Each structure stands twice: as structure tokens, then as C-alpha cells.
Structure 1
Amino acid sequence: MKIAIKYLTVFTIVIFLLSSCSSNQKNTDEGKSVEIIKNKTVEDKKANDENRGTQNEIIVDPLPTSYEELAKLQAGEYENIDLVSDEAKAKVKDIFSVLPDISKSPSKKELDYYFRELLKMVQKNYEGPENLINRLKFETFGNPNISDSRYQFKENLNVVFIIDASGSMAQKINGKEKMASAKDSILNFVSKLPKDAKVGIRVYGHKGTGSDADKALSCSSSELVYPISNYNEGEFQAALNKFSPSGWTPIGLALREAKNDLASFDGANNTNIVYLVSDGIDTCEDQPIEAAKDLYSSNISPIINVIGFDVDSEGQNQLKQIAAATDGIYDTVTNEGELQEQLEKLNDLTNQWQEWLEMGKQQYEYKKVSNSLDIFTYIAGEQIKAEQESTNIYIILSRLKRAGMFDDKSFEYLRKRNSEYHEWIDNEISKFNEELKALNEQNYNEAINQLQEKYNANTQ
């Protein structure tokens, strides 16, 4: 009996201890659970606060305050967006869905940010005064009074073409391969050269293919297929037949090699003109802008002009930078006819050089800046860009509103922002037009100096 009572007592104690342990463990577990939930809530709140902070720290890129700043903006991916066809209308919402969500009572700052980001996508390729200044210089080439000696005629005239032979030049425009159009245009130009002028052709990207496996080969390919010399029809045609569209686009390499090509033609005795023709961006990461600057600043003293042949917005941006870095002209052409038109201007220059030689290099009176048509064309072109850009943004905003992307109040704010911004552009163009027309009445040196001073003042 005593033994039974003893075991019962021990059993009761054990049960009590087990119950106590279980209760303590439960309380501990519950405590841990509460702590985990508490910590998670704190973390979630912290994350939400961080997100909210990010939204409050929106950085809105400023709009340009001068036409020079406007011209430096990169052309947008959708600068030439089709907004007319039924297929295009259906795609507007998808294309611009990458823009910030402003469907829920956006602030003024959020709406400004939205407008700025939309503008980046449809930004037009405006042309600033510096390109016009260089164009005026080039079109009045040979003036013995001009301070920059590279624009004065010398005893010898040399024209070198640097031609893109990358795979994309195989694309067709109006049923004709871009490379074939380039070759025919250049052939037409050289056939009209004065007998004493010299011409050379360097190609790049003409080896390998556009595949990654061939990148190293293609990016190291550039060749002087027609050494700088007088035009010989048979030899020149054979040179053009030596290459066809093939690989990558090593623009930097070609410009560095062109410096070697022209090494024996110093700027003191030679008027050297280089034309870079490309249909796209450098794809070999070989620093084309730096290479262009190096060629430009050498004792060769060349004029470096750039032609973008059916080039996209990214390519335009880089090619414009190459031209700007060397005080050259940049032009975009979309077909063979426009390319021929640009080369006709070069033919005019070579004829002027021939006339200068025949006149015994005597100084003669140069005409005033009679570029009224060029000025009109330039101003009209800029006005059309501004009108198209403004209209495109209005149409896009209207369609996005109908798609429920934002409310009427937000639409009205964005519409007004668009209108005010493009009114400013129109006013800048109008002022520039009046200044150019006034300068057109003055002599060449006065006009160029004033334009240059205006440009320099606005880019300080």
C-alpha cells in the first residue's frame, strides 16, 4: 500500500512537471510566433516606407531652355511612330504602358515626370545652329578671307569616302540594296571630278558575318580599296566590286585608318575632305568619336562630313556626335535620290576648286551669304518636326485616356504642358529665322562670326 502511494505520488509529480514544461514551451513558441509576426510587420512597413520614399523622390529631367539644348536631346525610339493605321492604333496602349502609373490622383510632379518620359520616347531629331553654321561654311568653301585654313582652297583637292559595308547595308530601299545605291551615287560623283582632283575609298565591316563568332574578324576589317589618286574608271569600278555588305560596323577603326591614308597629304598644301557614310551605329566599341577628333586635329586638317543612310534614331545620335565633334555637317538621307543630292553639293565644290585653279588662285570677291533657300528649308524642317511631335503626343495622350490610363484632369494638365512646350519651340524657331534672314544681308565673315558667337554664348 505504501509502495502504491509512493508510485502515485511520483507519477503525479512527473505529470505536473511535464505539464509545466509543455506550458512553458507553448508560451515560448507563442512568444516566438508573435515576435516573428511583429518583425515581419515592421519589415513590411519599412519596405512600404522605402517604396513610398522612392515615389516621393521622383527626379524630373528638365526641359531644354535653348535651341542648342533641344538639338542635343537624343531622338526617341518612336520619333516616327505610325498613329494612323488601325494596327498602330491598337498598339499605342502596349507601347506606352511602360510609362509610370498615373491612374490614381497623381501629383503635379508625377504628371511632369510622365510628360517628360513620354517626350523622350517620341523626341524628334532637331538640328541646332551649329550644323547650319558648318553648312554655310562648307557651301562658301574657298573664301580666301575665312580664318579657318581648312576651308580655303589649296593646290590639291582630295576627297575620301569611308563606306559602311556591314550586313545591314544589304537591306533594300525601293527594291534596291542600300550598298548598290551608295556605290552608284559615289560612281556618279567621281565621274564628274575635275581631272586634277583625287579620290579614295575605304570600306569597313566587309569581312566575316554579323554573327558573334565573326565579330572579332569583322571589327578588325577595314581596307583602302581605291588608294587616293586621280579617277580611273576601270580601276574605280573594280574597287567597288571588291566588297559587299557583310559584317559588323567598326567606324572608329575606319577613321583611324583614314588618318594613315591621308598622312602624306598635309593640310598646308591639300584641301582634304572626308565623307563618312553609315547606316547605323558603331557596333565594335572602338571609340569612333575619339577617332574622328584625332583625325580632325591632325596636320591633315580635313573637313569631316557624315551621311546617315536610312539610319535609326540611335545611329543618328552617334553620327551627329561624330560630325559635331569635328565641326562637320551631318545629313540623314533615306534613299538614293537624297544621297545623290548631297553629293551634288560636293560636285559644286570641286567645280569651284577647278575654277579657282584656272583663275590663277587670284582672290576674287565672294558673294554675300545668299543662302535664302537653305535657311527657308532649315526653318521649315524644324517647324514640321515641332508640329509633328506636338500632334503625336496629343494623339497618344487622347488614346491613353480613352484606355483608362488616367483621368480627364490629368489629361488636361498633360495636354496643356504639351501645348506650352511646343509653343516655346515655335517661338525659338521664329526668332532664329528672323536672325538668319537679317544675317543673310551681311557679308559672309560677319554672318558666320555672329552665328558662332551666338552658338558659343548658348553653350557655355
Structure 2
Amino acid sequence: MKLGKILAASLLVLGLAACQQDEPEEPKAADTGEQTTAETDKKTVAEPEEKVEEEPGLEEVISEEDLIALPETDQDLISQPVGKIGHLDLSSGDEEEIEPAFFEAFGEVPPLKEDATEEEIDLYFNYLYSIVAYDFQNPQDVLDQLEFALSGTPEADERFAFKENYNVEVILDASGSMANYVGDKTRMELAKESIRNFMAQVPEEANVSLRIYGHEGTGSEEDKAASCAAIDEVYERGTYDKTKFEQALNTFEPAGWTPVAGALESAQASFKGLNSQTNTNLIYMVSDGIETCGGDPVAVAKSLADSDVAPIINVIGFNADAEAQQQLKDVAKAAEGIFSNVTDGKQLTAQFKQSEEVLKNWKSWKQNSELDVLKSSNDSWLAIQQFENNWSASALKQELALNRGLRYLREAGYINWDQKSVLEKKVYEISDVANAAKGPLVSELNEVKEKGLSEMRKQISDKYPDEAE
């Protein structure tokens, strides 16, 4: 009996166990899904998706202030400022120097998109042009050079009249930037060559001197005081002696800061007693930079011009940037002098060449007490020839510089081949404007030359006003 109950109980337990195994487990998918959705919602609230920022457009990167208007006329070329690195020799300068300078000036402007619009391509070219734009000589500067070329003639200003004595001084910038290269030579090397050749042509009856500045220390702040005080007459005023002058040229190299005002003050002190009644005083200042020592070179230049020395001051900017050019122009204007900007050794030598002709005329006058007015008038044509040569050089160098910039941009992936072709056409359009302007400008200068300096100055000033005025 008991055995039967035990067997019945065992069978009941086994049956219940089998029933539990056959029953499906309670699904948890719904719970899992709800939990996952909830967690996702929490993450969405806690961690919003990051939005991808769009690259800024060219209009946002390129400021209107960075742009030089593309020239359409001769007046546009004459009045345009020098580009950010237009003072460098981008046409043929050293790749290791020029390429880094180019991309530094180009800044953060992004590459052109493959599907760039015509407006974007135009803006890109305008920006490139604004970086490398070259200086084109103002015809008004030619008038100043013509007046100097007519020294000793009845038409010349009193300052240009020949006197018993002729004193020539060259003031040379020996600051650190004069160590920069133009082609395969430094600015200083080219300047020394031109000055050496010029001084060798000065008549032995004239007195010469060489003054330098900024030739000590470095460009560092701790050397500033010493460098700004470094102004020396390394060849004291006297007749030219080739050996001694060469020794003087070898005593200095480019070094520090740029005390333009201090150099002019030093020159003014050295000319004391050489009044314009019996002396024709000629000063050449060659500089590639702006005053960096806190002086006021414009005020000093005016003081020098107003003194009884009344010098003729020729200010030559040597690959000067836009800011330096403007200050040097202001110095020349305050001194009632002559300004020119040169970009290579050949142009610098040409500036001195005109003085060589004037000094030859002075020597003839001194020996014969007469002046061949016709010869002096013919010499004045050199100024127009020089203008023509400089204009051609600026047009060609600007074209080469723009094409070099396009090559850099293509090699660095900023533009594709098709875009480069489109941009090159714009380069040649600018060159066409420059080349077409040269002929009429030269013809106009030749025509007005026959009318005399006064009429020339009025006619040229009306058509090509001085932007600084």
C-alpha cells in the first residue's frame, strides 16, 4: 500500500517537471527593446550629434582690404600700391627664399573648389595679384629727373645751377634687410657695385663722401640702441681715391636697424658751411626699408631742404615694400628732391648714370665757364629712356611673378590644371594693359618735353596727380 503511494507521488513529481520543461520561457524581448530605446533616448539627450562645420567661403576669408583693384588703365597701374611681396624678386629670385615668402603672404586662403564659380576664380586671381603687384613709375617722377638732367641750363632751378664746388654724398642703408638676395647677389653687394662704379666717374675736381647707417648689432631688441646709433662717414669728404674708397666699402656689412632720420641729421651737420651760394650739393640716399629707430625722416628732410645747404636729394628705394616706398617718397617730397624705386642692380646703376652725365657737364662748365645747353638738353632724354626701360621691366617682372605664383599654387594642389589655364589668361590681360600703356606714355613725355619744364609739370600733374597729395 505504502509502496503504491510512493510510486504515485513519484510519477506526479515527474509529470509536473515535464510540464515545466514544455512551457516556453516568458519572453524578455519586449523588456529588452524598451530598455534599449530608453537608453538610446538618454544618450541622444546627453550626447547630441556633432555638426560638421562647413569650410568658410572665399568671400569670408579674403577681406576687401587685402585687395588691390585690377588695373584697366595706365593710371590704375601708376597709382597701384606694391603687393605684399611685390618688392621681392618674384620673377627670378631664389626658390628657397621666394616660395616660403609667397605662401606666408598667401595665408589661410583655401584651395579653389573643383566646381569653383567664375566669381570665385576672379576673386582668387585678384587676391594673387594683390600679393605680387609691382611698382610702375609715375611720369611725375620723370619731371624731377628731367629737371636734374637740365642742371646748369637757364631753365634749371637755382639748386641745380652749377657753382664753383660740387659735393656728392651717398648715404647707404646697412641694416639687416640689405642682406636679402636679388638674384644671386645681396642688395648690399649690388649697392656697393653701383656706388663703386659711380664714384669712379665723379670728376676729380668734385668732393665725395660715403655715409652708412645701421651697420652694427643685429635686428634684436637688445641691440636696437647700439644699432640705431651706428651712423658713420666711412669715407670722409674729399676727392675720390680708388684705394681708400674700396677700403671704406669693405669695412661694413648689413647688420641691424634703420635710423633714416639720424643719417639725414648726420649728413646735415657734415654739410654745415657748404652753402648753396658757392656749392652744388648732391645727396643720394639708398634704402630698402622704413625708419625703425623712432626718428622722423620727413621732418629732417624738410629741415635740410630749408637750410642754406639746399641740397639736391635723390632718394632711391631698393626693393622697398609699399610702406617703405611711401615714407621714402615723403622724404623726397619734403626735401624737394627726386624719388625712384629700383628692383635690381641694373636699375640702381641707371639712377647713378644720370648724375654721371650732370657731373661731366659741370666739369665742362668749370673748365670753360660755358655749358653746351644742347648737350645738356639731350642728356635729359635719358630720363625718358630710363622711364621706358623701367616700365617695360615692371610689366615683364610682374607677369613672370604672377605665373610663378600660379605654378606654386598648382604644385601645392590649390588649383587644378584647367583653373591654372583660366588664371593665366588673366595674367596676360594685365600684361596687355601695361604694354599698351607704355608707348603713349613715352610719346606724351617726349611731346611735352618740347614745351619746357613748367608746361610739362602742369600737363603731367593734371593727368597723373600725385596720390600722396
In 1: Cα distance, 2:405 partner to 2:367 partner: 59
Do the aligned residues in 2 keep the contact of 1:160 with 1:274 (CA within 8 Å)? Answer: yes
Of 425, 433, 440, the residue aligned with 1:431 is 440
Residue 349 (str. 1) matches residue 354 (str. 2): no
Q: Find the counterpart in structure 1 of residue 143 from structure 2.
A: 133
Q: Find the counterpart in structure 1 of residue 27 from structure 2.
A: none
In 1: Cα distance, 2:75 partner to 2:203 partner: 38
2:90 aligned counterpart, secondary structure: coil
In 2: Cα distance, 1:186 partner to 1:406 partner: 44
Do the aligned residues in 1 keep the contact of 2:71 with 2:430 (CA within 8 Å)? Answer: no
Of 78, 82, 87, the residue aligned with 1:74 is 82
Do the aligned residues in 1 keep the contact of 2:347 with 2:390 (CA within 8 Å)? Answer: no
Q: Deviations over 1:95-154 (max 9, x none)?
A: 7574344316545554333222101222223222123222222222122223x3222223
Q: Give structure 2 stretches of 5+ with no counterpart.
A: 1-40
In 2: Cα distance, 1:91 partner to 1:242 partner: 32
In 2: Cα distance, 1:61 partner to 1:369 partner: 38
Do the aligned residues in 2 keep the contact of 1:368 with 1:442 (CA within 8 Å)? Answer: no
TM-score by length of 1: 0.69
What is the root-mean-square deviation in Å for CA atoms of aligned residues? 5.0
Q: Find the counterpart in structure 1 of residue 271 from structure 2.
A: 262
Q: Deviations over 1:260-293 (max 9, x none)?
A: 2224334454322111133555443434445434
Q: Find the counterpart in structure 2 of residue 253 from structure 1.
A: 262
Alignment of 1:119-268 (within 5 A): 119-146=129-156, 148-167=157-176, 186=195, 189-190=198-199, 193-194=202-203, 196-228=205-237, 230-231=238-239, 233=241, 237=245, 240=248, 243-245=251-253, 247-248=255-256, 249-268=258-277
1:450 aligned counterpart, secondary structure: helix
In 2: Cα distance, 1:209 partner to 1:446 partner: 49
- Greater shift, 199-208 or 135-144, is seen at 199-208
Distance 1:374 1:304, change over 3 A: closer
Of 69, 72, 81, the residue aligned with 1:62 is 69
Distance 1:105 1:459, change over 3 A: farther
2:233 aligned counterpart, secondary structure: strand
Of 357, 381, 391, the residue aligned with 1:382 is 391
Alignment of 1:268-287 (within 5 A): 268-278=277-287, 280-287=289-296
Of 441, 456, 460, the residue aligned with 2:465 is 456
In 2: Cα distance, 1:88 partner to 1:201 partner: 31
Q: Deviations over 1:64-118 (max 9, x none)?
A: 4654552441145266336899999998996757434431654555433322210
In 1: Cα distance, 2:404 partner to 2:240 partner: 55
Shift of 1:251: 1.9
1:125 aligned counterpart, secondary structure: coil
State percent identity of aligned pairs: 27
Distance 1:240 1:392, change over 3 A: closer
Q: Of the two structures, which has the highest relative contact order with CA contacts closer than 8 Å and spacing of 6 or more?
A: 2
1:245 aligned counterpart, secondary structure: coil
Do the aligned residues in 1 keep the contact of 2:171 with 2:212 (CA within 8 Å)? Answer: yes
Q: Give structure 1 stretches of 5+ with no counterpart.
A: 1-29
TM-score by length of 2: 0.68
1:99 aligned counterpart, secondary structure: coil
- Greater shift, 311-320 or 150-159, is seen at 311-320
Shift of 1:254: 0.4
In 2: Cα distance, 1:186 partner to 1:424 partner: 35
Shift of 1:339: 5.8
Distance 1:152 1:246, change over 3 A: same
In 2: Cα distance, 1:176 partner to 1:124 partner: 20
In 1: Cα distance, 2:110 partner to 2:306 partner: 45
Give the partner amino acid of 2:364: E
In 2: Cα distance, 1:274 partner to 1:402 partner: 47
* Residues paired across the two proteins, number: 422
In 2: Cα distance, 1:388 partner to 1:195 partner: 38
In 1: Cα distance, 2:342 partner to 2:421 partner: 36
Do the aligned residues in 1 keep the contact of 2:205 with 2:239 (CA within 8 Å)? Answer: no
Q: Find the counterpart in structure 2 of residue 8 from structure 1.
A: none
Q: Deviations over 1:36-88 (max 9, x none)?
A: 999x99xx99x989x78973995254334654552441145266336899999
1:240 aligned counterpart, secondary structure: helix
In 2: Cα distance, 1:93 partner to 1:197 partner: 45
